[in-house]
Amino acid sequence: MRFVWAVAAFVLAAVMIGAGIAQRTVFQGPKTETATISVDEPAPYLLIDGAVLNTLPGTQTLRAQGDGEIFASYGRTTDMQAWLSDAEYVHATAGAEGAVVTELVEPEPAAGEAGADAPAEDPEASAPAEGEATDAATAGRSPVGSDLWLDEFQQSDILIAPLQLPEDMSVLVATDGTAPAPSRVSVSWPLETTTPWAGPLIVAGGVVLAIGVFLYILGIRHARRSRGPRRKGVPLPVTEPISVPIDDAGKGVISTSPGRRALSGGRRAFAVVPAVAVSALLFTGCSSDSWPQLAPTPTPTPTATVIAPEGQQAPAVTKAQAERILSRISSTVSEADAALDSELASTRLEGAALALRETNYKLRAAIPDYKVPAPILAKPLEIILPQAYDGWPRSVIAVADDEQSKTSSIMVMTQQDAWADYKLSYIASLEASTTLPALAPSYIGATQVEPDSPFLVLPPQDIAAAYSDIINKGEESQYYDLFDVENDQLRASIVADRQRRLDEFNKTASSTGSLEFQSAPGSQPPFALATLESGAIVAVNIHESDTVKPTNEDAVIKLENNTTVKTLAGADQSASGFSTTFSDQVFFYVPGTGSGEKIQLLGYSSDILDAKVIS
């Protein structure tokens, strides 16, 4: 009977284990769903809409195959379409029942192009001359390295990119912007292939198998103990061990009959080991999706969040995007600093930041030991405050730390249009004790404050003039009480430097010349982004100028030891005098009206901008 139960256990275990394995193999079904994008008309770019990427839930895997380098990037759909507005591309969208539909999109006509109602032109006059390039022959625009992309990928021959994008984002696929985009493109999604009973069936089958092995061992043991009925006969003599004489009596008696333990021990171990090994093998390879999920779904813990105002547009960049952009700016400017290349610097700098770099390159070319400008800090980025704006130009305020010098830089980066790179227009060092106001998180962004906004203590367009007036007049300025002058190191350093230079000048030239100082708004327009407390961070440009003139008709102003002014002015003496201009890039926190707070200096940078002979 034990053998019957053992065989039944073996059969049941085989069925259970086979059913569990079958669920993980032949009955499991496909693990992914793939949608192929067919391109009928070749174009330099293929734009895959977010609706296609979200046809099925879960992560998306993009596959593109072609010859040579293959490029892919993703970003907001509106940004992608803006970048492609002047180009021909194939747009893949989601059709009925999840089918992928492709359409060739022609470039939008440029402003001023002849429309349908335009007067007819002479065909001969409008025909291109021999050798003249036509629109069809115009080289395409490479998408590689654009600051507009949230991320990009580039591989040879075949590109595989894991994605997890929402519906408002799209993917751009191309080669170099001139050759046709890859035509073999597909998107795949993982399918839910959980088999919650595979694990229990395999484990239960292993247990039943072990029981069957145990019953089989018991059956063998029982059969050996009862080998049929024993007949009653002549009593047999008692069997005794055979003594074999040996030389060494100390070794004892050798028995020819092994003990019961010796007969059965090896076989029992042999029978138990396979059962344990089979159970261990069955337990391995069972992942979490092979078991029922009986644990309750965890309840999310509420956290403090900042809700974007209704109707606010998307932030200009993400934090990862801003880090990549600033790294590119830092690398390019570093190369320009080493080569004294103003043209290269202009690809990543503009406004006051570029003007100071150009002056520095001119001085370093003439004065070997002139100081090199401080590098642009790129990492780590502590604060990213992007402008919440869908159009252009769009800007970002960033704060980066220098871990070696324990200093921080605050910067403004601006992108003029969809095809332009971000350029740094303002850069300053934060005060050591500066505490920035409460700012919106980077995933929400902040709106730009209008230059004439009446909701601040002072409109951004008046900040530079008001601060210049305080520098010039001190406590007599009408704006003196609006600024936190007690914690203003910039104004204190300007006043101290002016007094020092004036004292030195009066020692030798007070009777023959005059030295005057003046502060005024610079040429760079102000920029302001709103904070959470109805205030704004405002960046302004201020020019400080000092003018030295002779007061005696026979006197001449000489530049004996001032090689900097001599280099910029192109002269070492003048009968009319010299004018020197310094450029200050200054960041303020301007509170809202009715807050009772004062305008606070956040950071600044200052350097010589120009020097010239007074005409």
**Do residues 425 and 544 both lie within one domain?**
no
* 507: Cα separation from own chain's centroid: 58
Low-confidence winner among 239-253, 390-404, 545-559, 594-608 (lowest mean pLDDT): 239-253
**Do residues 465 and 439 both lie within one domain?**
no
**Do residues 579 and 483 both lie within one domain?**
yes
pLDDT recorded at residue 290: 56
Residue 478 inside a domain? The answer is yes
Domain final residue, candidates 173, 190, 207: 190
Q: Which amino acid is at 254?
A: I
**Do residues 546 and 477 both lie within one domain?**
yes
Q: Which range of residues forms the domain containing residue 526? A: 449-615
Domain final residue, candidates 446, 478, 506: 446
pLDDT recorded at residue 597: 95
Query: How many domains does one find in the chain?
Result: 3
**Do residues 474 and 577 both lie within one domain?**
yes
3-state secondary structure of 80: helix
pLDDT recorded at residue 110: 60
134 pLDDT band, cuts 50/70/90, is very low
**Do residues 455 and 564 both lie within one domain?**
yes
Does an H or E element contain 337, and which? Answer: helix 319-339
| Residue 286 scores a pLDDT above 60 | no
pLDDT recorded at residue 360: 97
Most confident of 28-42, 127-141, 191-205, 437-451: 437-451
Higher pLDDT, 473 or 232: 473
Q: Map tokens 């644990």 to a residue.
A: 295
Residue 409 inside a domain? The answer is yes
**Do residues 568 and 429 both lie within one domain?**
no
DSSP state, residue 64: E
Does an H or E element contain 13, and which? Answer: helix 2-24
Low-confidence winner among 6-15, 282-291, 458-467 (lowest mean pLDDT): 282-291
Residue 588 inside a domain? The answer is yes
pLDDT recorded at residue 202: 81
Residue 227 inside a domain? The answer is no
Q: What is the pLDDT of residues 409-420, one digit of tens each?
A: 999 999 999 999
Mean pLDDT computed over every residue of the chain? 84
Q: Map tokens 């509420």 to a residue.
A: 302
| Residue 132 scores a pLDDT above 90 | no
| Residue 227 scores a pLDDT above 70 | no
**Do residues 423 and 505 both lie within one domain?**
no
Q: Are 406 and 465 in contact (CB under 8 A)?
A: no
Residue 134 inside a domain? The answer is no
pLDDT recorded at residue 228: 55
**Do residues 67 and 172 both lie within one domain?**
yes
Most confident of 4-13, 281-290, 430-439, 599-608: 599-608
Whole-angstrom Cα distance, residue 488 to residue 493? 9
The mean pLDDT of 469-482, rounded to a whole number, is: 96
137 pLDDT band, cuts 50/70/90, is very low
395 pLDDT band, cuts 50/70/90, is very high
Higher pLDDT, 131 or 471: 471
Q: Are 397 and 529 in contact (CB under 8 A)?
A: yes
3-state secondary structure of 253: coil
**Rounded (10°) angle between helices 198-225 and 2-24:** 160
pLDDT recorded at residue 406: 79
Q: Map tokens 């601060």 to a residue.
A: 467
Burial of 240 (0-12, 13-18, 19+ CB in 10 A): exposed
Query: What is the tally of helices (H) and strands (E) in the chain?
Result: 12, 19
pLDDT recorded at residue 289: 55
CATH of the domain at 64: 2.60.120
pLDDT recorded at residue 299: 59
Residue 26 inside a domain? The answer is no
pLDDT recorded at residue 563: 94
Higher pLDDT, 236 or 456: 456
**Do residues 147 and 176 both lie within one domain?**
yes
Residue 512: HSE in the Cβ half-sphere, 13 Å Cα cutoff: 13
Residue 589 inside a domain? The answer is yes
**Do residues 566 and 543 both lie within one domain?**
yes
The mean pLDDT of 539-555, rounded to a whole number, is: 93
268 pLDDT band, cuts 50/70/90, is very low
**Do residues 569 and 524 both lie within one domain?**
yes
225 pLDDT band, cuts 50/70/90, is confident
Residue 289 inside a domain? The answer is no
pLDDT recorded at residue 263: 44
Domain final residue, candidates 446, 464, 495: 446
